[in-house]
Each structure stands twice: as C-alpha cells, then as structure tokens.
Amino acid sequence: MRTGTMARSNSASKNLPLFCKVSEKGTLLLLYIQPNAPMSSIIGEHDGRLKIKIKAPPIDGEANEELIRFLSEILKVSKSKIHLLQGVSSRQKNILVELTFDHVRTILLQLLNR
C-alpha cells in the first residue's frame, strides 16, 4: 500500500541529519507540517525540517493525530512509540520516535529517494 507521494530532492537526503537527530530515547524529528492536503505525504526538506503534508485539518488535534498515524505507518512502529514533544498548535513540530537513529534515517532516505 502506498502511503503518499514523494518529491525527489537530492538536497533533502544530503541534509537529512538537519531534521533527524540522535536522542537518548530514540530519534528526534524536526518537522514542518502542512495540514489540509489531499493526502498525507513526505515532501522533502523545508528550512532545516522535514516537510510533511497531512490530509487532516488543524482542528481539535486532528492534524496531530493524522501525523502520528502517518509516521507510525511509514516507520512501521506503534503509535505509542511516537511522541509529540513540541508544537501542538504549530506547523513546526518536534517528534520523538522510539527507534534508533539509523533505522529512522534509513527509512526516510529510502522514501526521499523514490
């Protein structure tokens, strides 16, 4: 099942460490979210953050819920292993994923290079 479209961006894959950082508890993702998209998808790098379009509106936490669901699907991890640390009501969000940096980095690189 396809989880969304990917825009090719060689600069995004080279800059992946800018928005994917090692954390004591897993991997920290620095994200820029665009809600109300036709479908949820990873776009590429945007101002040092990974830009993700989310199909849900930014109302009553719907976009945050869809973001966690989408990340869970593409990273193949339980939603309980994904934590919104900062940016509950902002487009700029910091997410902790309880997976190793290498695991998250590998998956994101594969998705960005499609």
Q: How would DSSP label each residue in 26-49? A: EEEEEEEEE-S-SS-EEEEEETTE
Name the pTM for this structure: 0.83
Please name the CATH architecture into which domain 10-112 falls: 2-Layer Sandwich (3.30)
The type of residue at 60 is: D
Average pLDDT, the chain: 87
Question: Among 76, 77, 80, 56, which residue's Cα sits nearest to residue 67?
Answer: 56
Distance (Å, whole) CA 16 – CA 50: 8
The pLDDT value recorded for residue 17 is 59
The pLDDT value recorded for residue 10 is 40
**DSSP E strand boundaries for 1-114:** 20-23, 26-34, 41-46, 49-53, 82-86, 92-97
The pLDDT value recorded for residue 109 is 86
Per-residue model confidence as pLDDT tens digits over 37-65: 999 999 998 899 999 999 999 999 999 99
Below-70 pLDDT ranges, the chain: 1-17
The pLDDT value recorded for residue 3 is 46
Distance (Å, whole) CA 91 – CA 103: 25
The pLDDT value recorded for residue 64 is 97
